[in-house]
Amino acid sequence: MGMKALIIGSGGREHALIWKLKQSKKIDKVFCAPGNGGITQGAKCINIGPDNIKGLCDFAHRNKIGLTVVGPEDPLAAGIVDEFHKRKLRIFGPDKEGARLEASKVFAKEFMRKYHIPTAPFKVFDSVSDAIGFCKSVEFPVVIKADGLAAGKGAVVVKNIDQATQTLDEIMVKKVFGKAGKQVVIESFLKGQELSIMAICDGKSYLPLLPSQDHKQAFDGDKGPNTGGMGAYCPVPFVDDDMLKEIEEHVLVPTIDGLKSEGIKYRGVIYAGLMMTAEGPRVLEYNVRFGDPETQVVLPLLKSDLADLMLASVNGKLGSFGKLDWREETAVCVIMASKGYPGKYKKGVPINGLQVQDNRAFIFHAGTSRKGNRFFTNGGRVLGVMAHDKSLNKALSRAYKIVDKVKFDGAHYRKDIGSRAEQQVA
């Protein structure tokens, strides 16, 4: 008999986690809280929100859930792992103390300074007038970051003092990100190629996953406002074995050692958002959970059993897991978004053409709802069309063939996912 798993969250990342966990012989049944329209096809969705920690604990206890996996960052920052541990329930993710790496930009930057992890020079401010005063003496552009969680939208690149003043006023005075804007980090702007590297940790050991690259801006050519991510591909051709060694040596190892020194037993996934500069890798930020849409391209290439890997992390047994086994292919994911995203958008638009006849492709649902056998839009990022093949171009051609068949009114997507793959670092 396999075990029951519970996935917390409702996006494309969670759909990908469920899709992968269901391939494991260890897993018998999968629940998702709260899930989305597409997830109902592969898991039993239960109407408990990610912020209802007591409700989730009670559900896991009552239903004898053998493994809970947390998708989004908010419940981790709120201490869901600590609550599950009190009830002797197995959960994959860091505790509240470990989650501060994402929940507080100030904590993360000071942690990097303390443990000599390469990052952009920075200063921290809790007074708007001091922050503006500092900006009068800097070389632009600089990046202003709200300290707390801001759904991936709390970092703003400013090009002059007027933009800096306006941004600081919005974050610290008008509180557009609420309490997240009590403190800000102001840091130098780094040039280069962005890279996402995730690693599974158990408090002592770590196993790195393949590097991937996200496309944050809404429109082709990296134009338009930042979004939660419009697509990704994996692996990244400009990252060779030497570069991976450098990332492990200068970023992953000192991060894991630093967490140990702080007395934090970090179990779960740690994600370093990197800028590959001419001087080497620099950490832009940490996330304490799987990336979205990076998960949708990394997991399809993983041949190792994800349930085994997560249980080894939770049980502190990663050291004896051995090496991860990967497909020697490239995976891509193209996000199809609602008209107007990342601004205002309509919900409830019917979606057609979701049947996929390709065994190397899959549509991960992000913002969808289901009524009977019909699917409707229910979010900004609606679907993630994933395909994998021997080369990036072949994978892209598979994915875009499916994108062409999927129809909903106002659908927009980037036509240039993977275009930075051929560029060199800085």
- 3-state SS string for the chain: CCEEEEEEECCHHHHHHHHHHCCCCCEEEEEEEECCCCHHHCCEECCCCCCCHHHHHHHHHHCCCCEEEECCHHHHHCCHHHHHHHCCCCEECCCHHHHHHHHCHHHHHHHHHHCCCCECCEEEECCHHHHHHHHCCCCCCEEEEECCCCCCCCEEEECCHHHHHHHHHHHHHCCCCHHHHCCEEEEECCCCEEEEEEEEEECCCEEECCCEEECCEEEHHHEEEECCCCEEEECCCCCCHHHHHHHHHHHHHHHHHHHHHCCCCCEEEEEEEEEEECCEEEEEEEECCCCCCCHHHHHHHECCCHHHHHHHHHCCCHHHCCCCCECCCEEEEEEEECCCCCCCCCCCCEEECCCCCCCCEEEEECCEEEECCEEEECCCEEEEEEEEECCHHHHHHHHHHHHHHCECCCCECCCCCCHHHHCCCC
Question: What pLDDT does 2 receive?
Answer: 86
Query: Quick one: 26 and 90 in the same domain?
Result: yes
Phi, psi of 206 (to 5 degrees): -145, 155
Whether 66 shows a pLDDT value over 50: the answer reads: yes
**In whole angstroms, what is the distance from residue 333 CA to residue 190 CA?**
26
- The answer to whether residues 239 and 272 touch, using CB atoms and an 8 Å cutoff, is no
Average pLDDT over residues 64-85: 97
Whether 127 shows a pLDDT value over 90: the answer reads: yes
Tokens at 289, concatenated:
């959970």
Question: What pLDDT does 89 receive?
Answer: 98
Domain count of the fold of the chain? 4
Among candidate residues 265, 273, 213, the one with its CA nearest the CA of residue 247: 273
- Mean pLDDT score across all residues of the chain: 95
In a domain, 425, yes or no: no
In a domain, 105, yes or no: no
Rg (CA), the chain: 21
Query: Quick one: 244 and 363 in the same domain?
Result: no
The pLDDT tens digits for 138-175 are 999 999 999 998 877 788 999 999 999 999 999 999 99
Question: What pLDDT does 70 receive?
Answer: 98
Average pLDDT over residues 312-328: 96
In a domain, 48, yes or no: yes
Query: Which of 44, 79, 95 lies at the terminal end of a domain, its last residue?
Result: 95
Question: What pLDDT does 119 receive?
Answer: 97
In a domain, 258, yes or no: yes
Q: What's 347's domain CATH number?
A: 3.90.600.10
pLDDT band at residue 79 under the 50/70/90 scheme: very high
Whether 21 shows a pLDDT value over 80: the answer reads: yes
Query: Quick one: 348 and 237 in the same domain?
Result: no
Whether 425 shows a pLDDT value over 60: the answer reads: no
The pLDDT tens digits for 91-124 are 999 999 999 999 999 999 999 999 999 999 999 9
In a domain, 100, yes or no: no
Q: Residues 59, 60, 62, 64: what is their CA dihedral angle, to the nearest 10 degrees?
A: 150
Query: Quick one: 399 and 368 in the same domain?
Result: yes
Query: Quick one: 198 and 321 in the same domain?
Result: yes
Question: What pLDDT does 422 receive?
Answer: 65
Domain that holds residue 49: 3-95
The pLDDT tens digits for 211-220 are 999 999 999 9
In a domain, 110, yes or no: no
In a domain, 297, yes or no: yes
Query: Quick one: 264 and 154 in the same domain?
Result: no
First CA to last CA distance, the chain: 52
Query: Quick one: 334 and 320 in the same domain?
Result: no
**In whole angstroms, what is the distance from residue 385 CA to residue 362 CA?**
6
Question: What pLDDT does 423 receive?
Answer: 63
**In whole angstroms, what is the distance from residue 91 CA to residue 248 CA?**
26
Please report where in the chains the tokens 């049980």 appear, as a residue.
Answer: 315
Q: What's 88's domain CATH number?
A: 3.40.50.20
User: Which amino acid would we find at residue 217?
Assistant: Q
Query: Quick one: 276 and 249 in the same domain?
Result: yes
**In whole angstroms, what is the distance from residue 194 CA to residue 277 CA?**
9
Average pLDDT over residues 231-259: 96
Predicted model pTM:
0.95
Question: What pLDDT does 27 receive?
Answer: 97
More confidently predicted of 390 and 155: 390
Query: Quick one: 205 and 312 in the same domain?
Result: yes
Query: Quick one: 309 and 348 in the same domain?
Result: no
Query: Which of 313, 328, 343 lies at the terminal end of a domain, its last residue?
Result: 328
Average pLDDT over residues 30-49: 97
Question: What pLDDT does 128 receive?
Answer: 94
In a domain, 119, yes or no: no
Average pLDDT over residues 391-397: 96
Query: Quick one: 321 and 195 in the same domain?
Result: yes
The pLDDT tens digits for 328-373 are 999 999 999 999 999 999 999 999 999 999 999 999 999 999 999 9
Query: Which of 147, 182, 217 lies at the terminal end of a domain, its last residue?
Result: 182
**In whole angstroms, what is the distance from residue 99 CA to residue 89 CA?**
18
User: Which amino acid would we find at residue 332?
Assistant: V
Q: What's 270's domain CATH number?
A: 3.30.470.20
- Across the beta sheet with 142-146, the strand order is 122-125, 184-188, 142-146, 155-158
Question: From the CB of residue 246, how many other CB atoms can be counted at a distance below 10 Å?
Answer: 16
**In whole angstroms, what is the distance from residue 223 CA to residue 220 CA?**
6
Query: Quick one: 251 and 344 in the same domain?
Result: no
Average pLDDT over residues 391-419: 96
Phi, psi of 45 (to 5 degrees): -85, 135
Question: What pLDDT does 226 receive?
Answer: 83
